[in-house]
Structure 1
Amino acid sequence: MAEWAVHGRRQVYGSPWVELWLDDVDIPGVGRVDHHVLRMPKECANAVVTDGDGRFLLLYRHRFITGRWGWELPAGWVEPGEGPAAAAAREIEEETGWRPAEVVPLTEFDAMAGISTMRFHSFHATGATRIGEPADLAEASRVEWLTEGEVVELLGAGEVADGASLAALSYFLGPHRLAVRGGGGAR
């Protein structure tokens, strides 16, 4: 299958957080169509935070867009001039009140590749030290350390509905864990 050809684009809406564009594309075998594209001016970072006892640090919060409560990982925008790992560490501290000692790459993914440029950098953070209350109190109603069994139950019950959190936790508990146990290294 050939690549789609872009003949032009025009911005429909723009803000510092999201842009909506209408791209004039030629789809092989279909022809030219207008395709909506959500462009994100900033990349995103999130982190699976674990402690030495096999627990995971998660946030419980309400998302007004979906009208759902659920468990999520600390996450946020990568600011200009900031690296993704630094952004993940900053978000952990701001949203949870815990400061990680080490933040290492876990995986990267395009959150909605068919319609958006939203790019996530996921990390594994360890050695977190409690420094106080979360700086951003609007991020969560609860911040808790949960056991691996509790996290697996939440995943299975659909209580981790945030796509980026679901992807990073599933990757950590699956391919990452297998690579580490198998001696093949982890990314």
Structure 2
Amino acid sequence: MIRRFGEAIVRERAYKRRPGVYAVLVRGGEVLVTHQARPVPEYQLPGGGIDPGEHPIAALHREVYEETGWRIAPPQRIGAYRRFTYMPEYDIWAEKLCTIYVARPVLRLGPPSEPGHSAVWMAPAEAAELLGNAGDRAYLAWVFSGK
């Protein structure tokens, strides 16, 4: 069973399944997160949806680059969670299946190419307070717990 975070499931509501990949990006004792300005301003682990036919690792590399401007070393899968949420940018209710990886940013190629995103380095404790969803916060805490 995959752990669930976030809003309670509403049985009468139809949810669209949205598989995605996200990364805890660690370097020099700091974590690289993305700030998304719209539709709701929030800090997030870099990542996002897997396009049809796309391999999850390729999707992770693409999403991290789009949202941070960084290339990453080969990622390591550390777990998965799901959450049921409204996605205003797509006007859908979604069951997000979030696979989480840990990776090291190795090369900054430029600013994020995804409109409305900015890459932000911060201390893990600060990120733990600012990340916009409980699943992201739980995996960040797990990575920095030393387990």
Query: Which category of TM-score, normalised to the shorter sequence, fits these structures?
Result: 0.7 to 0.9
Structure 2, unaligned stretches of length 5 or more? Answer: 1-10, 86-92
Distance 1:98 1:116 in 2: 28
Distance 1:76 1:101 in 2: 18
Equivalent in the alignment of 1:95: 67
Distance 1:148 1:118 in 2: 24
The one-letter code matched in structure 1 to 2:29 is G
Distance 2:73 2:67 in 1: 16
Residues 24, 101 of structure 2: 8 Å contact kept: yes
The one-letter code matched in structure 1 to 2:49 is W
Equivalent of residue 31 in structure 2, options 38, 50, 56: 56
Distance 1:134 1:117 in 2: 26
Give, in angstroms, the shift of residue 177 of structure 1. Answer: 4.7
Q: Which protein has greater RCO, CA pairs closer than 8 Å, 6+ apart? A: 2
Distance 1:170 1:116 in 2: 20
Q: Deviations over 1:111-149 (max 9, x none)?
A: 129x8532111111114211122222x141x31111223
1:37 lines up with 2:5 in the alignment: no
Give, in angstroms, the shift of residue 172 of structure 1. Answer: 3.3
Q: Please give the TM-score of this superposition, normalised by the length of structure 1.
A: 0.60
Q: Output the aligned Cα RMSD.
A: 2.4
Residues 31, 121 of structure 2: 8 Å contact kept: yes
1:131 lines up with 2:109 in the alignment: yes
1:170 lines up with 2:141 in the alignment: no
**In the comparison of the two structures, how many residue pairs are matched?**
130
Tell me the secondary structure at the aligned position of residue 137 of structure 2: helix
**Identity level (%):** 23
Runs of 4+ in 1 over 6 A off after TM superposition: none
Structure 1, unaligned stretches of length 5 or more? Answer: 1-33, 182-187
